[in-house]
Amino acid sequence: MKILQVDFPSPGPFGAEMTEMMQGLAESIAKEPGLIWKLWTENAETGEAGGIYCFENLETLNAYKEMHAARLEKMGVRDLRFKIFDANVALSKIDRFPGL
C-alpha cells in the first residue's frame, strides 16, 4: 500500500461547481488500476486543490502519477507537487483512520 499526496495552485472551480465539473473524472479515477481510494481536497480561499490517494503498490501509483501529471499539465496546472509516502498503519489505527 502506498500513499500519493498531490497539491497545486488552482483557479477553481471549487465546491458544488467542482463536484459537477469533475464527476466524470472521479468516476474514471475510481477505475484506475490499483486505486484503493482518493480523498479530494480543495481550498477556494488560497486557490489550491489536490488529493490524497491510496494505491495497492508503488507500480500502480507511479503509473497513475505519470498519467495524472501529464493530464494536469495539459489542463494548465503549474507548480504541481507530488509526495509519495508509506502509511504507518499501527499509528493511524490508534488515531482512528478508517482507510487502511
Neighbour tally for 23: CB within 10 Å: 10
Closest CB 39 distance from a second copy, rounded Å: 5
Residue 66 or 88 having the CB closest to a second copy? 88
User: Does residue 67 bind a second copy (CB under 8 A)?
Assistant: no
* Cα 53 from Cα 19, distance rounded (Å): 17
Backbone angles phi, psi at 71, to 5 degrees: -65, -45
The string over 76-98, giving b where at least 16 C-beta atoms fall within 10 Å of a residue's C-beta and e elsewhere, is ebeeeeeeeeeeeeeeeeeeeee
Q: Is 90 in the site for a second copy (CB under 8 A)?
A: yes
- What is the x/- site pattern for a second copy, positions 27-66, by CB under 8 A? x-xx----xxxxxxxxxx-x-x-x-x--------------
Interface positions with a second copy (CB under 8 A): 3, 5, 7, 14-15, 18-19, 22-23, 26-27, 29-30, 35-44, 46, 48, 50, 52, 83-88, 90-92, 94-100
